[in-house]
Structure 1
Amino acid sequence: MARPSDTKQRILQTARELFATQGVQQTSLQEIADRLGITKPALYYHFASREELIRSIVTPLLDEGEQFLLRMRNRTDVTPRELVEGFFDFHYRHREDVLLLLTEMTTLAELGLIDVVLSWRAGLTELVFGTEATLEQQTRAVLAFGGMQDCTMQFPDASFDELRAATVTAACAALGID
């Protein structure tokens, strides 16, 4: 018999796959249980609700994003380019979960997770331009950081190195930095 942590991980992976193909609201917990060959009560043993399951999928992404932002804030020597490169790397690693976030905006807004992502962008903008960023600087940051997220999903067949170089160059240009 599988250990509970193995079952929990299998549930998370199956839910990710079904949510990505069918959407969160169109995927029942029964479908997830059926796909895994477990009972619905067994699924409820690990996740009390659909919302808890969604949170379990996106929480590692959100935690890592918060940690990245905190590390960058705590460094006095971080360059804007290094910040952009780190932000790209983070999104590239989590592009499947970011895609879930973007395709399920309503569900995630209800869970209060959209505000977290928007606060990251505000924090990154402050790191690049300071606390008194102009409207132009703020819009540059929205284009750069939002565009970086999009690029990690829009070009799934591009090599990491090629996509990183092109995306970082474009984001730096949008930000007006070297």
Structure 2
Amino acid sequence: MPRPRTTETADRIRAAALELIAEKGVQQTSLREIAERVGITKPALYYHFASREELVRSLVRPLIDDVEAMLAAADAESGPRALLGAYFDVTYRNRHITQMIMRDLSVLALVDLTTAVATWRGRLVELLIGKDPTLAQQARAWMAIGGMDDCTAGFRDVPKEALREAVLDAALATLGR
């Protein structure tokens, strides 16, 4: 039987880690458990990921890359619904990562995701309501964006399109639009 390619093994490690961490949390999931789930040795896991932090970083990287690409392509002229729709699509596509983070908030500190999230939200707020928003406008925008994140992770059994419409309507209502 041919040996799996290195990237296939790393993908299997990430999938097992994401599942276990979402279920138990980062600190309660051992690298040995992850290796056993994949069917490899712990040293083999270390061949692919030098540390727990590196592994967790690789788990959140797709979310970071997707949000940054969405923000790079974002245009305030397209309107709030289109902008929020693009953000919803990114967060929905990566909801398993958000679910993992919500299960264990230490992930935020472990990979310094808090800074990235604050930067994203600041950029989204600027795109949604301009450069000099009032405190009330900022609060509504942060609530709308954070609520979208929570909804994409929390409503697991709702079909995507139904959830998308409900979430966009609620976010726009929160913004007062």
| Shift, 1:64, TM fit | 1.0
Question: Residue 66 of structure 1: which of 41, 45, 68 is its match?
Answer: 68
Task: Specify the code of the residue in structure 2 equivalent to 1:108.
Answer: L
Counterpart residue number, 2:58:
56
User: Normalising by structure 1, what TM-score?
Assistant: 0.94
Equivalents in 2 of 1:155, 1:112: separation in Å? 26
CA-to-partner distance for each residue in 1:37-82, whole Å, 9 max, x for gaps? 211110000000000000001011101111111111xx36321111
- The 3 A distance-change label for structure 1 pair 35 and 76 is closer
* Secondary structure of the structure 2 residue equivalent to 1:131: coil
Counterparts of 1:3-82 in structure 2 under 5 Å? 3-72=5-74, 75=75, 77-82=77-82
| Shift, 1:100, TM fit | 1.5
Equivalents in 2 of 1:92, 1:110: separation in Å? 23
Counterparts of 1:99-138 in structure 2 under 5 Å? 99-138=99-138
Q: Aligned residues: percent identity?
A: 49
* Secondary structure of the structure 1 residue equivalent to 2:4: coil
- The 3 A distance-change label for structure 1 pair 149 and 170 is same
Equivalents in 2 of 1:136, 1:115: separation in Å? 22
* Secondary structure of the structure 2 residue equivalent to 1:77: helix
2:26–2:104 contact (8 Å) kept in structure 1: yes
Task: Specify the code of the residue in structure 2 equivalent to 1:111.
Answer: V
Task: Specify the code of the residue in structure 1 equivalent to 2:97.
Answer: D
Task: Specify the code of the residue in structure 2 equivalent to 1:150.
Answer: D
Counterpart residue number, 2:4:
2
1:58–1:97 contact (8 Å) kept in structure 2: yes
| Shift, 1:140, TM fit | 0.4
User: Normalising by structure 2, what TM-score?
Assistant: 0.95
Q: Name structure 1 gaps, 5 residues minimum.
A: none
* Secondary structure of the structure 1 residue equivalent to 2:132: coil
CA-to-partner distance for each residue in 1:120-144, whole Å, 9 max, x for gaps? 1111000111111100000101110
Equivalents in 2 of 1:51, 1:148: separation in Å? 27
Equivalents in 2 of 1:38, 1:157: separation in Å? 33
Counterpart residue number, 2:87:
87
1:105–1:114 contact (8 Å) kept in structure 2: no
Counterpart residue number, 2:171:
171
Q: Paired residues, what number?
A: 175
Task: Specify the code of the residue in structure 2 equivalent to 1:176.
Answer: G
